[in-house]
Amino acid sequence: MIIAFLYCIIILGGVLMIDLSTPDTLLYDSAVLSSYIRKNTKESFGYIFFDNIDYITKLYNDNRMRDVTYKNILDTILCGSVYLGFDTYECPDCGFETTIPHTCKSRFCSKCAAKSAKQRSISISAMTFSCKHRHIVFTVAQELRDYFIRDRSLLDLLFIASRNTISALANDAKFRKNKRL
């Protein structure tokens, strides 16, 4: 069992106090989640999980969910909040302080996964050559190969569908690089 330290936030008289010494046996306490308030109303996996946390906790307590799944759900809910930790920066000149909360860095979180996918695409595009020609290989899934072996005319439809897919992607404005200076 992993021992995680939960940042229990207690509001006393408008003062925010953080107790870092509250250990939890496995994950976050559901009582803390019930007092946690989301910042905005945008729909995402984190908000869906948050709205159904009682049902998810019941599934976990009935051993119908793995520990790692439950941890990812809780991390997704608490992503970008001080419950996962934070860094505080202070300006040496004026003394202005800012607190930056940690993110969950999970590929299941819609916010962190989008950031990770963008970083991955930038690193892959940096490794590719800048050229006008690209070679793309379309393959048939193992489960569908019997159909194509029995009826070879389906291959023509496959090539037409592949061509139409590439044409649609190439002609769609959001997939084209901006050529303005």
- Digit-coded pLDDT (tens) for 8-34: 333 333 333 333 344 443 344 444 555
144 pLDDT higher than 50: yes
Mean pLDDT of the residues in the chain: 73
Helices and strands (DSSP H and E) totals, the chain? 7, 6
Which own/partner pairs from 49-57 qualify as long-range (CB within 8 Å, at least 24 positions apart)?
49/73, 49/76, 49/77, 50/77, 53/77, 57/30
Q: Which of 15, 48, 10 is nearest to 31 (CA)?
A: 10
- Residue 164 CB burial class (10 angstroms; 0-12, 13-18, ≥19): exposed
3-class SS of residue 175 = helix
Q: What is the pLDDT of residue 177?
A: 54
**Residues above pLDDT 70, as percent of the chain:** 70
Distance CA 97, CA 123 (A): 33
Domain residues of the chain, as ranges?
4-111, 136-171
107 pLDDT higher than 70: yes
